[in-house]
A and B are shown apart, each in its own frame.
Chain A
Amino acid sequence: MENHQIELTQERFDFTSKMKNVIFMAIAAGILFTVLGFVTESAEFKMKHFWLSMLMGAYYTFLISLAGSVFVGINYLANAGWSVAFKRVPEAMGQYVIIGGAALIAIFLLGNHDIYHWMGEEAKNDPVLVGKSSFLNMGFFVASSAIFFGLYFFFTRKLRALSLKEDSIEGQDKFGGKIFHTCRRYSNVFIAIFGFTFPVVAWEWMMSIDPHWYSTIYSVYNFAILWVCGISTMALIVLFLKRHGYLSIVSKEHMHDLGKMMFAFSIFWTYIWLSQYLLIWYANIPEESIYFTQRGVGTATEPNNFTLQFWLNLGLNFLCPLLIFMSSTAKRKPNVMATLGAIILIGHWNDLYLMVMPGTLGENAHIGFFEIGATLLFFGIFIYVTLASLAKQNLITMGHPYLEESIHHEVTP
């Protein structure tokens, strides 16, 4: 291998007003669609539909953003060097965590009963919900969420601040790796906290939509969505930056590895999905199988209005990644990767839709202005925050001890 020092220059992302305008237009379109939803929806389910759509949008972007922080943490934890070349991208994605978290808590405080059946008066006469009331109550819900989201944001900020400090070090301490080890210690704590608290987030925000039902693998399922969507978004942002001439040190090898992660964790998601489905199918216990009865199975003879989306879920999230990304040449083609990233994001949007809507709106659910509006709105804000924090400093982590290793990263000889 040739030993040469690549000339590293300061690289700044220019968040042009053209990009900003596109994002503002998306946010405006989101608001417009939401208003249109208020005009066109039938009055009976209007508020319910609105809050559920907002929950979907906020939760989806929250997951993707959290995946950025977790990616940084896990790479420190695993002592991994390959991802350093684009480390600023997951870092920037994580900056949205607090906004997404605040939006979620605001949505809960304002629309709680429209989303969560257990918040209502009728829950007091329901023995199952009374039994769960020590966990499913407003105080615990808001307090735990606020603490968890605050912790996630604290570690995101801390890791980023340390990384920026590392860049500014000059002279003898530059390659001492002192800050790197501090980052590793923070990551150890962060990933442990994330591992234990994220299941609670998934139970509270998603599983309690169907408060009578429970599944022990549900939080892993949520983690699978978080991770595969986070990696896909990361790949899309890196592709976007490369297309605009930034991040020239990110080579096809890095993209290949990101592609492998997209592929592998799509399969992981399917594995978890199947585990949940098979156990419920074989056990055949009414209180468990109701979940899938609502989501596509319908009655014994007739499909219901989620059947198409039920199968679409597997098609978009499993078959597409499997068939498109199986060969290693496909993983190295930017256009194929961008297409698959979009497919995965749409697929998991559909996945979330199936988690949120059937248990609440049921027969009255339909994809309308509200869903599209909320998705555009939250994705617009998420992309804006990410790109804005990318533009704030150098795109390359100049002081990271593994930068050189990452630049020479090679997966195929």
Chain B
Amino acid sequence: MKPTKFIAGVFDDPVLLLRAAKKAKETGIKVYDCYTPFAVHGLDKHLGIKRTRLSIAAFLYGCTGFVLSFILQNYISWVDWPINIGGKPNTFALVTFVPVCFESTVLCTALLTIFTFWAKSRMFHGVIPDLFDNRQTSDLFIMAIDADSNKNHDAIESMLKQEGAIDIRKKEFASNHSLIQ
């Protein structure tokens, strides 16, 4: 069951957010995610976020692009109509396939990776982009804690307050919300 109810700590300083994330890890509070206007270095370590597997997907997409364009050129200039330019040996024309293979590899990798990224982060049509606070894209730092699996709400709130949260909000989202993955 995906979480829909959250307790959100609102911070106005990335350093405070980092400290709070560290504190939450120490006290055993499971943080669902943090929402920040820019990348806060070290946050992923405290939240225990695993390395993305997007790079593996990107590698496979690249291989696909390479193989497809190689087959295409191979068919065109060897199989269907062997091209003879100045009597040069065909084996060594392999190297001349490189520019097209390279471009096709880059194209497939770039486009397919970005599409995968969008799909994975639920950035597509029909998703309701609800935010904890509109300013989380500008100058506020949100720490979202799942209210269902963390039972001791008072402890969470006092921890957030102690760590310098300027506001604590309880929020409930519909199940097709953009946060839910």
A binding-site residues for B, Cβ under 8 Å: 274, 277-278, 281-282, 284, 289, 292, 296-298, 300-301, 303, 326-327, 413
Residues of B within 8 A of A284 (CB): 85-86, 88
The distance in angstroms between the C-alpha atoms of A281 and B90, with both chains bound, is 11
- The answer to whether B98 and A274 have CB atoms under 8 Å apart is yes
A-B contact pairs, 9 of them (CB 8 A): A278-B95, A278-B99, A281-B93, A281-B95, A284-B85, A284-B88, A297-B89, A327-B55, A413-B45
Interface string of B90-110 (1 = CB under 8 A from A): 011101101100000000000
- The answer to whether A281 and B96 have CB atoms under 8 Å apart is yes
- The answer to whether B59 and A281 have CB atoms under 8 Å apart is no
Interface string of B38-60 (1 = CB under 8 A from A): 00011011000000000100010
- The answer to whether B88 and A281 have CB atoms under 8 Å apart is yes
Residues of B within 8 A of A301 (CB): 89
- Size band of the interface chain B makes with A: 10 to 19
Residues of B within 8 A of A282 (CB): 96
Q: Does B87 contact A (CB under 8 A)?
A: yes
| Top 4 closest pairs, chain A to chain B, by CB | A413-B41, A284-B86, A300-B87, A297-B92
- The answer to whether A413 and B44 have CB atoms under 8 Å apart is yes
Q: Which of A301, A327, A413 has its CB near the most chain B CB atoms (within 10 A)?
A: A413
CB-based nearest B residue for A299? B89
- The answer to whether A278 and B96 have CB atoms under 8 Å apart is yes
Q: Give B104 Cβ to nearest chain A Cβ, in Å.
A: 16
The distance in angstroms between the C-alpha atoms of A67 and B55, with both chains bound, is 32
The distance in angstroms between the C-alpha atoms of A102 and B89, with both chains bound, is 42
Q: Give A302 Cβ to nearest chain B Cβ, in Å.
A: 9
Residues of A within 8 A of B96 (CB): 278, 281-282
Residues of A within 8 A of B55 (CB): 327
Q: Give A259 Cβ to nearest chain B Cβ, in Å.
A: 16
The distance in angstroms between the C-alpha atoms of A292 and B81, with both chains bound, is 25
